[in-house]
Amino acid sequence: MRKYLLMGAALGLLATAPFAFADNDGNSNWQKYSNTSFDVYVAYASANNWAQSGGNRAWSAYQNTSANISNSGSNDTGVLNQAQNAGANSELQNALSLAYVNNPNAGYTSQTYGAGFAMAGAQNGASVMGNTAETGFDYCPINTVTQAATIYNSYNGGTGTEQINQNVGDNSVLQNATAIADVTQATGTKGTLGVSFAAGGNNGGVFGNGAENRGNMSGTVDSSFDGHTGVVNLNQNAGANSLLQNSTSIGRVSLYKTSATTLAGTVALTDNDASVFCNRSASIGGSNGVSMDNSFNSSAGVMQASQNAGSNSLIQNSVSVASVTP
């Protein structure tokens, strides 16, 4: 991720080189720029998480565990990160970075040169290794233990960016990373420059874990995320020793109007890296299930959803969007 951000910085510096000296009339530097205005706006945002879980042991004999979101988050506006966990030895991560430049001088004729730079980077790193988890008694003939994650009638009609993790699977990793870089109304009467750079990614590993499940595990999304506008990253997991990743990067430059010299560029990068190996899982008399009903109806934007009920599994979603609009 660092190399991506350095690349973005280099791109911005290279872009400014011809822009800064566009008005070459043969006069001295003082004469040339004494009546010239430069409006330059820069936004930089970075969000990072790093976690490790290793060598732990969990045993749930008769205790039921659950994570529930009900009748929440509807019609919300802005940024929302939420994580709920009912699984042992697990890690849930959300990273969101937003860099936004809105030129307040758009439309003013006194502005000679206008420039906007926005850079955003979001990254998660996690490892879960050498853990053991047991659910239920091996000599109990009846499955008395349940682990459940539920999202019901929530996040409807919202606007903005939302990242949700819900987990009931033992020894698991759930990650969401979103980076948004936006330059709006870049303008100048003689020269205009707009540059945005967004990079989002996840890095995770699940190694050498053991899980025995004699209970019932379930994950449910019902009547949620209807009519939402914006970016949604959702992970829901009911499988042991599993890894779920969503990454989204959006870079945008919007020009107020073109000028004598206009240069605009945007870059969006996403990257998911994951490893799941040498894990052991046993389901004895229990059940694992996930469902999604009546959700994400009439929504607009970037939507990513991952649901998993299988042990030792890996699910990845990655979306990059780059746009320049006059």
pLDDT-based confidence at residue 226 (cuts at 50, 70, 90): very high
Q: Does residue 291 form part of some domain?
A: yes
Q: Maximum CA pair distance of the chain? A: 92
d(CA 298, CA 227): 5
Question: Is the per-residue pLDDT at 260 higher than 80?
Answer: no
pLDDT-based confidence at residue 93 (cuts at 50, 70, 90): very high
Q: Does residue 272 form part of some domain?
A: yes
* Domain with 77 in it: 2-13+42-325
Q: Does residue 28 form part of some domain?
A: no
Q: Does residue 128 form part of some domain?
A: yes
pLDDT-based confidence at residue 4 (cuts at 50, 70, 90): low
Higher pLDDT, residue 185 or 159 = 159
Q: Distances from the Cα of 212 to the Cαs of 72, 80, 119, 209, 314, in angstroms?
A: 33, 34, 45, 10, 19
**What integer is the mean pLDDT of 1-15?**
49
Q: Does residue 213 form part of some domain?
A: yes
Q: Is 239 exposed, middle or buried (0-12, 13-18, 19+ CB in 10 A)?
A: buried
Question: Is the per-residue pLDDT at 25 higher than 60?
Answer: no
Q: Does residue 30 form part of some domain?
A: no
For the record, the structure tokens of 312 come out as: 């030792």
Q: Does residue 20 form part of some domain?
A: no
Q: What's the chain's Rg over C-alpha atoms? A: 24
Q: Does residue 95 form part of some domain?
A: yes
Question: Is the per-residue pLDDT at 151 higher than 80?
Answer: yes
Question: Is the per-residue pLDDT at 28 higher than 60?
Answer: no
How many structural domains comprise the chain? 1
Residues in the chain: 326
**What integer is the mean pLDDT of 2-28?**
47
Note the pLDDT of residue 20. 41
Whole-number percent of the chain with pLDDT over 90: 57
Give the pTM.
0.86
